[in-house]
Amino acid sequence: MMKRVMVAVKSVQRDIAGEDTVIELVSPGKYYERGGVKYIRYEESEVTGLEGVQT
């Protein structure tokens, strides 16, 4: 059974100078189980540089 969900991903990258860059993505996605394994799928956005890719 597939459920529609909202996926929130937060990434923090620190550069050599110690400065943090925070990227937050909120995207509609799908949650489902297959063969006892749980999956969450969502589409990347241009913010991540992977627009159109499903994760």
Closest CA to 31 of 20, 18, 22, 40: 40
For every residue of the chain, DSSP letters joined together read --EEEEEEEEEEEE-TTS-EEEEEEEEEEEEEEETTEEEEEEB--GGGT-TT-B-
Instruction: Give per-residue pLDDT as tens, 8-55.
Output: 989 899 999 999 999 888 889 999 999 999 999 998 877 777 778 888
How do the domains of the chain map onto residue ranges? 3-48
Contact 43, 27 (CB under 8 A): yes
All residues at 6 or more sequence positions from 48 whose CB lies less than 8 Å from its CB, including other chains:
23, 25
Q: What is the pLDDT of residue 18?
A: 93
